[in-house]
Structure 1
Amino acid sequence: MTAAMRHLASIEHMPCVAHARWNSTLFMISRLLKNHEAVEATLAKQRHKLTLLTTSEWDKLKRLKTLLEPCRYVTELLGGETYVSCSVVLPALRHLMHTMEVSDDDPAYLVKFKTAFSKDLSERQATLNDGWLIVATALDPRFKDLKCLPRGEREGVWNSVAALLQGTPTSATPEPTEEPAKKRSLLLFNSDSESEDEEESNKALSRYSAEPTIGETDCPLQWWSTHAGAHPQLSALARRYLGSPATSVPCERLFSLAGNIVQKKRAALSSENVNRLVCLSNWLKEKKQQK
């Protein structure tokens, strides 16, 4: 308890650590705030030389708890496995950046925290596969208005989607192997068909753009299943992009579960029985969530 109180009392000086441990720091702050009165009442009855948190420091913890709540929501959202998560990455990051914008009313410790958090988040975002995530966001009928992107970048997104419909490589797709010179020369005679393909892809995008957006709680894959007849090319592309998870958390969660099952005393389990136990564990988890 003493170490935790010292850690929390100086948390405004370590924003990068708080960023790296979003949820653990939030849970620690929440637990201490919940037991605020009990902690002080218990320590008041004991002889100690501890430096207790001041009223100002308790207020700082409350402000930081409110600021970290969206971080917990985003980390849990991107780590889900029962819904489409790939197209949620950019809107979620945009929400975090908006939450961490410095305002004139922010005290110095919050300004320092928000500035360091935003800088670290920008550096991490620079390593993402933006090409894939942008196309996935555009093909999600919940976010196809692309409000999470600057206005000047939205037209380029639709150009990338149109290129994918025509089968040309973009930054979101791997580069094809080089074709022989004779085959490449034959492509020069396909100018008429290429213009037709471009016209068809533009029509397909226009029809999709005219569709109304759906609610954030609606399933985009179900929407595409219903509208596959109206958008046959885009529906196939949407299944490809929306089917990928945002993070490796679901896979790591599965490996952790299998690791808890296959232990030293159960090393003789066959692969079939391990699969069955993993499935049973998953079914029991879903059953508990439905109650």
Structure 2
Amino acid sequence: MNLEIIKLKQDVQTRWNSTFYMFERLLKVKAPLSATLSLIDSPPPNLNSTEWQILEDCVALLQPVEKISTVLSGESYPTQSIIIPLVRGLQSAIIKKRPSTEPGNHLQRSLLEIIDKRLGVYESNRTAAKATILDPRFKKNAFGTISTAENAVKYVLEELVQYQPVQGQTSERAIASTSEVSISNKADDSDIWEDFDRKISETVMHQTPISSASIVLRQYLDLPYLDRKQNPIHFWKQRENVYPTLCRMAYKYLCIPATSVPSERLFSKAGLLTNQRRNRLMPKKVDQILFLNSFCSEKRTY
């Protein structure tokens, strides 16, 4: 048949997506597998046409799950902020599928129920909601309802208030500014700006942390959306001087990994690095080797 020689894959209970990969590989080798089984003596039973159709339905339904699990397992880009939009996209992708078998329809219903039960709560999760709002690619548009989006904005505002300068610090800056204006006016021997400068000083002095935080957050939310393929960390890096308090919050939440996969990879590498034949490595050396290996073993996009 002049086909690429590939092996079948086995389902492994402890590995994510292994069932999907097994089904996908079976479909890929369907023709050569069926031909081979027809030529050998006492072959194991082959799948019938209905069973092959069930496999096709399963692969079509599980493919979106495999895609988002792969994306959420990444470690070279922010993943916490993409949980909510990916869950919404996963639900939409599965709903659009049209299985042709009853087991396929049952799998579709089961997947939607499980996703809603286990992942639907993320829109109400404060950490995930804050990360999504602070990602300039998504902001409020990633949420399923207006109420959950507004709640997420409220969560960000409540914490942002804590980053704002206290009243005393604001007043000191306002007084210093007023003094500078007064000195400048005296030097110019002119009082035509006196009323205006006084109003500005009073406005600054009476500005509360809540009002300051609200203004900053509103300005950010009104900015144009960042392209989905762009790096949100670069966005905040370029605006550290414009939104210093909001930037601190963004760094805090965008750096949280969505899954435990990155840490599990690190432990796996540590297990391969330190064994009975290399048990004299000092902990400091192990840390250094693992750190360097994390940059050498994979392509960094950011």
- TM-score interval w.r.t. the shorter chain? 0.7 to 0.9
TM-score by length of 1: 0.77
Residue 254 of structure 1 corresponds to which residue in structure 2?
266
1:89 corresponds to which letter in structure 2?
I
1:55 corresponds to which letter in structure 2?
S
Query: Cα deviations across residues 173-226 of structure 1 (Å, max 9, x unaligned)?
Result: xxxxxxxxxxxxxxxxxxxx8972222122112111110111111111110111
Q: Is the 8 A contact 2:84 2:142 kept in 1?
A: no
Q: 1:103 to 1:39 in 2, by over 3 A?
A: closer
Q: 1:21 to 1:107 in 2, by over 3 A?
A: farther
SS at match of 2:297: helix
Q: Is the 8 A contact 1:100 1:115 kept in 2?
A: no
Q: Which of the numbers 96, 104, 111 marks the counterpart of 2:90?
A: 96
Where does 1:41-120 land on structure 2 (aligned, <5 Å)?
41-48=35-42, 50-101=44-95, 107-120=101-114
1:146 corresponds to which letter in structure 2?
N
Q: Is the 8 A contact 1:102 1:115 kept in 2?
A: no
Where does 1:250-289 land on structure 2 (aligned, <5 Å)?
250-286=262-298
CA–CA separation in structure 1 for the residues paired with 2:99 and 2:63: 19
Q: Which of the numbers 224, 228, 233 marks the counterpart of 1:221?
A: 233
Considering only aligned residues, what root-mean-square deviation do their CA atoms show, in Å? 3.1
Unaligned runs of 5+ in 1: 9-16, 169-192
CA positional deviation for 1:229: 2.2
TM-score by length of 2: 0.74
Where does 1:103-252 land on structure 2 (aligned, <5 Å)?
107-125=101-119, 130-167=125-162, 196-252=208-264
CA–CA separation in structure 1 for the residues paired with 2:109 and 2:295: 43
* Aligned-residue identity in percent: 28
Residue 180 of structure 1 corresponds to which residue in structure 2?
none
Decide which structure has the larger Cα Rg and report it.
Answer: 2
How many residues in Structure 1 have an aligned counterpart in Structure 2?
253
Unaligned runs of 5+ in 2: 1-7, 164-204
CA positional deviation for 1:152: 2.5
Residue 24 of structure 1 corresponds to which residue in structure 2?
18
CA positional deviation for 1:103: 6.8
Q: Is the 8 A contact 1:84 1:243 kept in 2?
A: yes
